[in-house]
Copies of this chain bind each other. A is one copy, B any other.
Amino acid sequence: MDHNFGDRLVEAIREKDAPVCVGLDPLIERLPAALLKEHSIDPEQALDVRTSANLGALADAIFAFGTAVIEAVAPLVPAVKINIAFFERYYSAGIRAYHRLVQRADELGLLVIGDVKRADIGHTSAQYAQAQLGSLSHPGLQEVATPDAVTVNPYFGSDGIQPFIDLARETGGGLFVLVQTSNPSAVQVQGIETADGSTVGEKVASLVQSWAAADGLVGDHGYSCIGAVVSPRDLESTRRIRALMPNCIFLVPGFGAQGRSAEEVALCFKPDGTGSIVNASRSVIYAYQKEPSGGDWRGAIESACRDFVSAVRAAARP
């Protein structure tokens, strides 16, 4: 097997001294006006993709923006997270742009997390796993570069996850299982109280830890190729959930636009400063919208990324 994903991620974070990743969730209507103009896109029309004659032009603009973001942040961060929903939105043209962007990030030496949140019964999850992690070991295959790791949904239990684990083991890939998500209504399911006084989220955390600790999946640094998506709620539950998953790296969403502070995410780290990678998306990639100038949008993204890295770096070393 190739190099364990847990090790790869820990080492990439150490190299950049930055336990963060930048999330790419690009919306056409928020792209810089100058970039839209270059692609001959009328922002008024583009707001409704259904009336646009040319999905290809929209996908190209999204790809160009994504490339610019990746180039701006590549010297600063170890990884990017690309959310496929914002590409799937443009149908086959968007999916092509997604895989091209994965390829571009890979060329710049970044680890790529495909935020796909897939899962199904085993027979079907095997297809998703091949689609999303499968061609990792075949970089020569054009336009179908796949991420180093992907996010997956636990609602099916282990059957839905196993095909991803099998591929990760084979290719050095990784996965992050949703445990505690950042949206307000997450508690409706994840917060259900269980018969033993725990919650569904904590039960899923224990399940994920049991998968993560399986034979051969834990790397030299003590982390598995199976991590977890964990959005901190309150201090006590974050401490509990960190303790429940000693072998899992947390992918922590919600820094910035979704309102989580550096202090809140600090408890997702272990005392040695490892164990989490914190994501910011909108607060970094749309940083230029806060500045009245609006001219140097690439510079604004880079500057916001630097601030983000500093804030999380400080939080990780309390």
Contacts and interface: CB of A to CB of B under 8 A. Distances in A.
Interface of A: 25, 49-51, 55, 83, 85-86, 88-96, 99, 117-125, 127-128, 130-132, 134-135, 137-138, 141, 143-144, 153-160, 178, 181-190, 192-197, 200, 203-204, 207, 253, 258
Contacts of A189: 154-157, 200, 203-204, 207
A226 to B, nearest CB: 15
A88 B155 contact: no
A157 B131 contact: no
What 8 A-B pairs have minimum CB-CB distances, sorted nearest first?
Answer: A157-B188, A157-B185, A193-B195, A85-B127, A121-B183, A92-B96, A159-B185, A92-B92
20 contacts: A25-B124, A49-B134, A51-B138, A90-B131, A91-B144, A153-B153, A155-B178, A155-B190, A157-B183, A157-B187, A157-B190, A158-B188, A159-B185, A159-B186, A192-B192, A192-B194, A192-B203, A193-B195, A194-B194, A194-B195
B183 A192 contact: no
Contacts of A122: 183
Contacts of A141: 50
A122 B131 CA distance: 24
Nearest to A187: B157
A25 B141 CA distance: 25
A28 to B, nearest CB: 11
Contacts of A96: 91-92
A66 B184 CA distance: 40
Question: How many identical subunits does the complex contain?
Answer: 2
Contact of A181 (B86, B155, B197, B207): B155
B185 A86 contact: no
A189 B143 CA distance: 36
B158 A185 contact: yes
Contacts of A130: 49, 89
Nearest to A124: B85
A159 B184 contact: yes
Given A25-B124, A120-B117, A91 B85 contact: no
Given A121-B182, A154-B189, A192-B192, 12 more contacts: A49-B130, A51-B138, A55-B144, A86-B124, A88-B128, A89-B128, A92-B92, A92-B93, A192-B200, A192-B203, A195-B195, A195-B197
Contacts of A127: 83, 85-86, 88-89
A83 B126 CA distance: 13
B193 A120 contact: no
Nearest to A155: B155
A204 B200 CA distance: 12
Contacts of A131: 85, 88-91, 94
A159 B190 CA distance: 13
B160 A183 contact: yes
Given A189-B204, A195-B194, A124 B83 contact: yes
Contacts of A185: 156-160
A120 B85 contact: yes
